[in-house]
Structures are given as structure tokens and as C-alpha cells.
Structure 1
């Protein structure tokens, strides 16, 4: 896909990764960016980068009516970047209740699915375009410390594969991005190594250009992805040592 001249929409644009997407897409000469956030006041600095090309959009991806409205209003999108997500660092059995699991699944899975469903016909009208789903390496292997988050990302990974198959006929490229720990505010208390948001974004946008479907940004993600091919049970047993309530030091 030729990113230059395209129209992009980014959910969670005010976050650590989302804001970098806006900056890098401007460098690649897109014609317009719809920068989405639940609170558009948090987008002021991004809009100031280029008020003609960066359009702030209020959007909560778990609100079906809001998603439908944005899809109707932003009918020229050719690159959809589903970046909005959350991690509440809860176990599956150890959690006091199901609240964290429900919230993570609602945003990380149903929110992404809702956006893909709403924008599939929009992308078809633009000749196919591309969908980028920001997933996680933990969608491939569960980290019990953040077990319900891992499960939500696993669901989103499987969903990405299914959407890829369904939209192949209309020529839509569907990309799953699976970084390890990203150096953002969300992961400030997590140990190194961490991949920088800029590396995640640059690798992702290069994948859009190259037509690459699976992206593992950063050394940590690449190493564990490789280990999962050769010794999946070994990786599972290792990560199984990091239980809810324990320190992640040494991960």
C-alpha cells in the first residue's frame, strides 16, 4: 500500500503509540489523519502539528453508535489503525471479580471488532486499503500476572486472522502487530527490555508498505516469537512463574 496521499484513522491517538503514529504518518505525507480519542482535548498538541491534516474525532470504540457515526463521517479512510486498548494487570483466578476481564475484552476485542466491521465497507470503497490491529506478544502466550489482558489479546489475534480471511476478496490488507513490552506510561513499572513506541510505529508502517501481515517489533518480541516456534511449552512454563501479585523483575 502506498501510504503517501492516503487517509488514516487512528484510535487511541492520544496514547504513547497513537501519538507517534500521527507524527510518523505526517512525515510520510498522508493527506489526512483522523485522530480519535474519548477526550478530544487531549489531542490539542497533535492537532497543532498540522491543523489542516490532523482532524480530532471524539470516539469511544465500545460505543456502537459512536463507531457507526464515525464510520459515516470518515468515509474516505483507506488506512485504519486500531490502537486503543487497555491492560489492568489482573490474574484470571486471583482477580477479585470479572470486572477487569470484561473491561479488557470489551475494549481490546469487541472494540476492535466493531471498528473493523464498521470500516470494512469504507475500505472496500477505497479499493481495499489496510487495517492495522495493535495486538500484543501476550496474544500468543499467556502471562499470568496479566492473565485476562493476555486472553483478550489472544481473542483479538484470532479475530485478526478471521477478518483477514473475510476481507481478502476485497483486497484489504490486515496486519497484526505484536510487540513485547512497549516503553509507554502504561508499562512504566514493567522491567526492561522495552521497545520504543517509535520502533513499533516505524516497523508497522513499513509492514503496510511491504504488505507484511504479522509484525513483531523489538528484540524481545522477536526472540520470544522464535522460541514459541521451537519450544512453546518451555516459554509457557517460564512465563508461568510470573503469577498475579508477584514482582515482574527479571521478566
Structure 2
């Protein structure tokens, strides 16, 4: 049995996002909106997509309706955005609850959007990227892909599946010159993250979370450098735990450590 490295090395010529054409899913708010704004600032053309395009308010972006869980919607976007050479798979459900006690429909939804929705986008846009020289795909994951979190184990499982998907796609698209990268943050200061912590009765200090704008700059710098996994501090700490026995991500412990530092 032989193995192939999932690391293909940085491209011979660093990727320059100035002049690139990017499509961002879930661009109506949060991290997705920051991606669209920062890509525009760096000189890229941007397709800003969302299930409800009327909620996208990003000057200079080309707004498209896109539901990544609807194959017809995905195909329609690929038919319009034929000049894309950077695909940012950001949009996905963060709900789901726990695997044993949660609603099965919610669990299916979180898997459908994070795994099958991401896969649908990649399958639709891989030929587009090939025609445009290879380009890049960036999948927005989460540190819980490498651990789990009580209260939303379904989301953690979906992100674990998406990490496996990312590694598989990287191998499959290497020959067409497509860089496939994963952004794996720890705690991002989004409204969703704050609501989850509040519902769990946990007060998260601001300095333990990374601001979305800072995360996006980190991600795009990494993409331009040809990195295949882009991690913030907590993301790197979580990945290091893979060398030991499996364990849950303890949000309360992180908060306590930050407040006592």
C-alpha cells in the first residue's frame, strides 16, 4: 500500500488575489460578509451569494441568490459565475444540537449544508476552476472538527466530515492545479458564537475570541501564501490534541483560563 501526501507545497507563483474572481457563500452576514469586503479591498471581483440576496449589502459586489443545499440553485450559480477562480465555501448551518438528544431533522440539516452543500459547490465549480487555470478553494471549518462540543455535537460531526471532504478533494484536484485549503478557527466573535455561549451560561471574554475581520485577513494571507490549513491560535491548540486521546472542547474552561490569565 502506498500513500500520497495531502500537502502539495506552495504554488510556484504565489496566488495574487488582486485581479482574481471570487465567489463567497453566505455573504449576507458574519464571516462571509467580511470575506466579500476584504476580497474587494484586495482588488478581486466578488460574487456575494446568499439564500436571501436582498440581505446582501456590499457595494461593488455582484450579488447572486444561492442555496447550497439546492442542486438547481448551485448549478444556476455555476452557469452565471463562469469566471470564478477562487471559491470560498463559508455558508452553512451552525445549528444541529446534540446527536443523541437533538432533533433528527436539524442534525440532517447541519450535515446537508456543511458536508453535502460544500461538496455540491465543489463539484459544480471544479470544472470552472480548471478552465480558469486551477485557482483555489477555501473551506471554512471549525476547531470542533478535531474535537467536539457538548450542546452541538452534530455540528462538530458535520465539520469533521467536511475536514475529511477537504482532504479528499485536495487529492483529487491536485492534478488540475487547484489549491484546496481549510480555514480552521477556534472561537470567532460572531453573533452565533456569542449566542451559543450565552445560552450555555458562559461569559466569553473578548480577548479569547478572534474578530471576524482579523480571521478573514489571516485566511486570505494564508491562501495567497499557498497554505493548505490556516489556523488561528486556538485552532492550532485544538489540532495539537489529536496526538492524545479524544476529548471535548471545554468552552467554560477556556473562559475561566482567559479570565484568570
Query: Is the aligned partner of 1:122 residue 2:150?
Result: no
Give TM-score, length-normalised by structure 2.
0.85
Secondary structure of the corresponding residue to residue 226 of structure 1: helix
Secondary structure of the corresponding residue to residue 48 of structure 2: strand
Corresponding residue for residue 25 of structure 2? 11
1:65 to 58, 65, 72: 72
Q: What is the distance in 2 between the residues matched to 1:226 and 1:152?
A: 20
The total of aligned residue pairs comes to 231
Corresponding residue for residue 195 of structure 1? 210
Query: Is the aligned partner of 1:214 residue 2:220?
Result: no
Q: What is the distance in 1 between the residues matched to 2:238 and 2:112?
A: 27
Quote the offset at 1:216 in angstroms: 1.0
Give TM-score, length-normalised by structure 1.
0.88
Corresponding residue for residue 245 of structure 1? none
Corresponding residue for residue 42 of structure 1? 55
Quote the offset at 1:145 in angstroms: 2.2
Q: What is the distance in 2 between the residues matched to 1:120 and 1:194?
A: 33
Query: Is the aligned partner of 1:20 residue 2:34?
Result: yes
The CA deviation string for residues 83-102 of structure 1, in whole angstroms up to 9 with x for no partner, is 0012225111122x311210
Q: Identify unmatched segments of 5+ residues in structure 2.
A: 1-14, 198-203, 255-261
Q: Does the CA-based 8 Å contact 2:96-2:110 persist in structure 1?
A: no
Query: Is the aligned partner of 1:249 residue 2:249?
Result: no
Give the aligned CA root-mean-square deviation in angstroms: 1.4
Q: What is the distance in 2 between the residues matched to 1:206 and 1:163?
A: 21
Q: Identify unmatched segments of 5+ residues in structure 1.
A: 243-247
2:98 to 91, 101, 104: 91
Q: Does the CA-based 8 Å contact 2:95-2:152 persist in structure 1?
A: yes
Secondary structure of the corresponding residue to residue 250 of structure 1: helix
Secondary structure of the corresponding residue to residue 80 of structure 1: strand
2:115 to 109, 112, 132: 109
Secondary structure of the corresponding residue to residue 13 of structure 1: coil
Query: Is the aligned partner of 1:100 residue 2:106?
Result: yes
Q: What is the distance in 2 between the residues matched to 1:33 and 1:77?
A: 9
Quote the offset at 1:7 in angstroms: 0.4
